[in-house]
Amino acid sequence: MEEKRMVEINGIKMEIDMRTAVRVDEFKVGDNIKVLDKNYSNQKIHDGVIVEFLNFKDLPTIQIAYFERDWSGSEIKFLNINSESDSYEILPASAHEFELEKSAVVEKMKLEIESKKEEAARLQSKLDWFEKFYGKYFAKGEME
């Protein structure tokens, strides 16, 4: 790797020593980002958005909403990254890199809500049946 590199910033050419160069990123709430999750044996990259900066005195933290996708769909999860978070890295993402569309996410969430409502209705039916017929089938055993 070359030790020094010429870089032009705002029309000013500078020679930078790459051995001591440090990457500085600027983020703001609402920025699209890429999240590298190093918790798995094969690292995963998620699309995310910066939700909030939590300025704790001892441990300033960035809160991120990211989208985890697998065979069953996508799920919104939240992640808190600070100086003690060794398992995650974040990078800025260009708008064209952000693959999710709001309408697609909203539609998936609505479908999941409907699915959970149907599941709740099935469970309610089972509970109603159990409460209605409980005495008929089970009361004799409990009286003994």
The answer to whether residue 14 sits within a structural domain is: no
The answer to whether residue 15 sits within a structural domain is: no
Helix, strand, coil shares of the chain as percentages rounded to 5? 30, 35, 35
Instruction: Answer yes or no: do 85 and 112 share one domain.
Output: no
- Rg for the chain, CA atoms, rounded: 26
Which H helix or E strand runs over 143? helix 139-143
Instruction: Answer yes or no: do 87 and 108 share one domain.
Output: no
Q: Alpha carbon of 76 to those of 17, 46, 103, 115, 138: distances in Å?
A: 41, 11, 14, 17, 43
Instruction: Answer yes or no: do 91 and 127 share one domain.
Output: no
Query: What's the domain range around 115?
Result: 101-136
**Any idea what the CATH number is for the domain that residue 76 is in?**
2.30.30
Average pLDDT per consecutive 10 residues, the chain (144 residues; last block may be shorter): 72 77 77 84 84 89 84 80 86 72 76 92 93 72 54
The answer to whether residue 126 sits within a structural domain is: yes
pLDDT of residue 119: 96
pLDDT of residue 123: 97
Number of domain units in the chain? 2
pLDDT of residue 17: 78
Cα 29 versus chain centre, distance: 15
